[in-house]
Structure 1
Amino acid sequence: MRGSVIFLFAAMSFAGPAVAQEAWPDLLGKWGGKSRAVIMSPAGHYGSAGGGSEPRFASSDLVVEITKQDQGRYIGTIVSAGHKEEKLMVVSEDRKTLRSADSDGNSFGHIIDSNSFELCYAQVAPSVASCTLFRREK
């Protein structure tokens, strides 16, 4: 009997803990939000609003449309009234932290719940810093 208990303990030690892997988030579809930005000169989604080269506050209605996803990797577009570009995103192993890139900048953010995520964006030239709360469109 004692040998059986030792064998069972040894077998369990080598098997390791059973950990359920959480599914990758489903981000397919359209997500809309209004950015809160600080910009210098005309810039992408902010067009020529305000003009000049002084830093200023700006906002833009944005839509991210995710058209492809695979194991936490996402491909889509980001669109505003006057600008459209490819948007690439990836979620980290924690299934919450987001990184994204487009043609001229990148974002860091997090998934809040199944219907919302936030991205904070940075671009060097022209300078842009913004955060946007995106909500799934129905």
Structure 2
Amino acid sequence: MGLSHRNRLGRPIVGRRHGAGVADSRAIRGGAGRLPQGSATVSGPPPGEGTSNPLETDGSQRERWNMKTAIALLALFVLVSATSVAVAQDGIPSLLGKWDTESRGGLLLHGKKQGNITHWEPKQKVLKGRIDVTGQDGRFVSGTYTSARGAEKFIGMVSADGKSLYAADLDGIWDARIVDNDTLEIVYRHVKPTDTVVAIGIAKRQK
């Protein structure tokens, strides 16, 4: 039953059923912070899991690409080095055979007559001869040089790059540039008590 009361100022106070206000306040306090039954909940992965960072992904891919590039360059360097060594060791030309030579130079006498094994004579400007390379073991070669005045043996070494020949005979030395498989450009010189000779010539391999 609703009864009307008056407060101290004489204003009526509307009465409520017994316990209604208490029940409402309890309902409010009990339901605070809770979702009604049947409502959906929102959840997500723990921090740091299930997320992607484009910057980190690009950085990882770039690092892997740089690693692969470095490995490829290293492999290429090793291959080129091995190839260079193989060329230096196996690219030595064969000089075996007979070579016709023609040289231009001159002789300087120290006495009355040139030495017995000197192929040049006073006032001579051109010398023709033949080189016989009869032995070759890798870079080491040996043979005989022959001209109208006689013959003398020589030994020599081919350079590591296969482009030059350095030789010595009984009284002089000669350096040759290997122009191609069948051509040598030779510089010859000697100095001894009887005479001095300097000459430059071309040698062509006989076919």
Structure 1 residues 30-70: Cα deviation after superposition (integer angstroms, max 9, x where no partner): 00111111102325112xx44xxxxx443221111001112
What secondary structure sits across from 1:27 in the alignment?
Answer: coil
What secondary structure sits across from 1:13 in the alignment?
Answer: helix
Q: Which has the higher contact order (CA 8 A, sep 6+)?
A: 1
2:69 and 2:140 mapped to 1: Cα distance?
40
**Residue number in structure 1 paired with 2:79:** 17
Which amino acid in structure 2 is aligned with residue 129 of structure 1?
V
Query: Computing the radius of gyration over CA atoms, which structure comes out larger, 1 or 2?
Result: 2
1:120 and 1:130 mapped to 2: Cα distance?
6
What secondary structure sits across from 1:16 in the alignment?
Answer: helix
Return structure 1 stretches of 4+ with deviation > 4 angstroms.
Answer: 5-12
Which amino acid in structure 2 is aligned with residue 17 of structure 1?
L
Which amino acid in structure 2 is aligned with residue 31 of structure 1?
W
RMSD: 2.4
- The answer to which structure has the higher helix fraction is 2
- Deviates further, 112-121 or 12-21: 12-21
Gaps of 5+ in 2: 1-60
The one of 99, 115, 123 equivalent to 1:31 is 99
The alignment status of 1:40 with 2:40, answered yes or no, reads no
**Residue number in structure 1 paired with 2:182:** 115
- The answer to which structure has the higher strand fraction is 1
What secondary structure sits across from 1:24 in the alignment?
Answer: coil
TM-score normalised by length of structure 1: 0.80
2:206 and 2:103 mapped to 1: Cα distance?
16
The alignment status of 1:135 with 2:204, answered yes or no, reads yes
CA apart distance, 1:12: 6.8
Q: How many residues align?
A: 131
CA apart distance, 1:11: 8.7
- 2:97 and 2:134 in contact (8 A); partners too: yes
2:129 and 2:105 mapped to 1: Cα distance?
12
